[in-house]
Structure 1
Amino acid sequence: MANIQWFPGHMAKALRQLRENLKVIDIVFELVDARIPEASRNPELNDAVGTKPTLLILEKSDLADPRATSAWLRYYRQHNQAAIAVDVNDRKLTGDLTKAAREVLKEQRARAAEKGIQSETVRAVVAGIPNVGKSTLLNRLVNKKVAVTGDRPGVTKKQQWLKAGKDLQLLDTPGVLWPKFEDQLVGQKLALTGAIKDSLFAKDDVALYAIKWLRKQDQLTALVDRYHVTTEDLSLSDVDLLLAITQRLGFKDDYERASERLIFDLRKGKLGRLTFELPEDSEATDNA
């Protein structure tokens, strides 16, 4: 399995700018992909923000398994990490995020009030990995297209301040990955969900990872419905099952093309609402 790495120069610059802007913001809105909440958290971002209050925002929750999302929110509560799952189409989005941010900042603002400092406005920096949905979220919050969106990572290249509602100001930042994935499974998850450019990883490796995960979660029947493989095919090895999908799609022996289709369908939710890591995986890592 080929290693996956990606760290363009503009990402290193974005981290430096983020550190510089911490003094003018109240809270960090850290966006993660609800399908891979921990894999999509950048450890360098955590180091950069230090002790600044953080609200974890689980984006793309409409594509994730809702039961898994609920489990993740419980997990974060148990670990004293403020978190909220969002749907960018929810009309209450701005109010919900402002309310959640104020809850995180409650004690800090109470101390400030004792010193005679009062403020209703929340100033937040919006940060996260590439293609996690930052621009889509910002456009919805601001209620107009102010951020460029796209289904490829690295679209946002500069920082910009935006006003969302009466009491919420947001600083958009480019997506930031870290220089080296210590766990290549993290790289596979990021590739599967679109955080890494498609030209930088082997499609068949990622497709096989997806099949392995579906098998582990007893969700292979989604392949029967989508690609018309037989239930007997599901007992094949992961490689042979990918070849069976290739044949059913009419791609002959072009398993690379079939891999691309499988990855595309997974990203778009064509195989159902799926989450590719669970809280117990993190618990096992914590206890290792």
Structure 2
Amino acid sequence: MAVQWFPGHMTKAKKDFEKNLKYNDLVIEVVDARLPRSSENPMLNQIIKNRAKPHLKLLNKSDIADEKVTQQWINFFQKETTISALAVSAKNKKNKVDIKKACMKLVPHRGTSIKPVRAIIIGIPNVGKSSLINLLTQKKIAKTGDVPAVTQMQQRIIVDNDFVLTDTPGLMWHKIESEVQGNYLAASNIIGINAYDETEAALYLLDCLKENYSQSLMDRYELDATIINQPSEDIIEAIAIKKHMLLKGNNPDLRKSAVIILQDYRSQKIGRISLEFPEK
């Protein structure tokens, strides 16, 4: 399954990003801490690399990701790349200071009222970029929502007298070739509902949970180890039966079971989960 989800306004947004990049000192990229690789935009990263701009990657939603794995990602970016990385949560007001300090460190020649830091902030839809902007400004400047593609226009935002942001729409690339990547994005509610199959996304999610969070999976759905060791299709069926999600003829409702699994992951009812690991 190659996921294709590229709303028309994103073509214009990509061109606007390229145009405005030269007027900014650095790039702040927001990714989902649960899947830092799958939630970054390779199309934009290549543009940033070509322009040789300082690059700060914010691993947002770190409060719902596996804390140990998030720290592994921070170490990875700092040791293996030229990208600075910081774990943040839009719910943590203290992170405003952390983000500003990280930016000032990257552009030490800026950061006064005369020469404020000028940062352009990017991220694919629904990684929490708008919520972070509201955190930085301490106001509800940017629209937020739990569906992708809320922001559709670039806007200049004065955070403080020494810090200015250029906001951009959530930008996807044209085609997600990897099945794993596409389904991780789907499971994490980052791409639109019409672009994926819920049962397929739940199967990929279960594959990860079985391998890395088997005890959390067993605890949430009262499953035993013999079921956990079965194919993910059997686990979806077992959960449907356990939760009495049945169709006519007492057949398990596999789609409803899949939707419940996705919802439980998104609402942290299974626990703090990371889907991607640096060593893999």
TM more than 0.5: yes
Contact 2:113/2:162 (<8 A) preserved: no
Contact 2:113/2:161 (<8 A) preserved: no
Contact 1:162/1:170 (<8 A) preserved: yes
Partner of 2:218: 224
Cα distance in structure 2, aligned partners of 1:249 and 1:161: 49
Partner of 2:177: 182
1:210-248 deviation per Cα after TM superposition (whole angstroms, max 9, x unaligned): 11111121x122233222333432233211111011112
Shift in Å, 1:23? 2.2
1:156-185 deviation per Cα after TM superposition (whole angstroms, max 9, x unaligned): 111111122332211111111111223221
Shift in Å, 1:47? 2.2
1:69-115 deviation per Cα after TM superposition (whole angstroms, max 9, x unaligned): 11111101112211111122323222211110111123xx2xx9xxx
Partner of 1:148: 143
Partner of 2:4: 5
Shift in Å, 1:118? 9.5
Cα distance in structure 2, aligned partners of 1:230 and 1:162: 52
Cα distance in structure 2, aligned partners of 1:103 and 1:123: 13
1:1-288 equivalences in 2 (<5 Å): 2-49=1-48, 50=50, 51-78=52-79, 79-106=81-108, 109=109, 120-217=115-212, 219-252=213-246, 253-281=252-280
Contact 1:211/1:220 (<8 A) preserved: no
Contact 1:130/1:195 (<8 A) preserved: yes
Q: Structure 1 residues 214 and 239, CA, compared in 2 at 3 Å: closer, same or farther?
A: same
TM-score (norm 1): 0.89
Cα distance in structure 1, aligned partners of 2:54 and 2:128: 21
Contact 2:134/2:140 (<8 A) preserved: yes
Give % identity: 37
1:252-286 deviation per Cα after TM superposition (whole angstroms, max 9, x unaligned): 121111111111111221111111111112xxxxx
Cα distance in structure 2, aligned partners of 1:119 and 1:84: 27
Shift in Å, 1:48? 2.5
Cα distance in structure 2, aligned partners of 1:165 and 1:95: 12
Cα distance in structure 2, aligned partners of 1:210 and 1:258: 13
- 1:226 aligned partner, one-letter code: R
Partner of 1:286: none
Cα distance in structure 2, aligned partners of 1:130 and 1:102: 26
RMSD over aligned Cα atoms: 1.9
- What SS class does the counterpart of residue 47 from structure 1 fall into? helix
1:11-44 deviation per Cα after TM superposition (whole angstroms, max 9, x unaligned): 1111110111112211110001100111111111
1:110-156 deviation per Cα after TM superposition (whole angstroms, max 9, x unaligned): xx9xxxx9955111111011000011111111111111111111111
Return 185-194 or 157-166, whichever deviates more: 157-166
Partner of 1:284: none
- What SS class does the counterpart of residue 145 from structure 1 fall into? coil
- What SS class does the counterpart of residue 15 from structure 2 fall into? helix
Unaligned runs of 5+ in 2: 247-251
Unaligned runs of 5+ in 1: 282-288
- What SS class does the counterpart of residue 130 from structure 2 fall into? helix
Cα distance in structure 2, aligned partners of 1:128 and 1:53: 16
TM-score (norm 2): 0.91
Q: Structure 1 residues 26 and 236, CA, compared in 2 at 3 Å: closer, same or farther?
A: same
Runs of 4+ in structure 1 off by over 4 angstroms are: 117-120
Contact 1:162/1:172 (<8 A) preserved: yes
Contact 2:27/2:120 (<8 A) preserved: yes
- 2:57 aligned partner, one-letter code: L
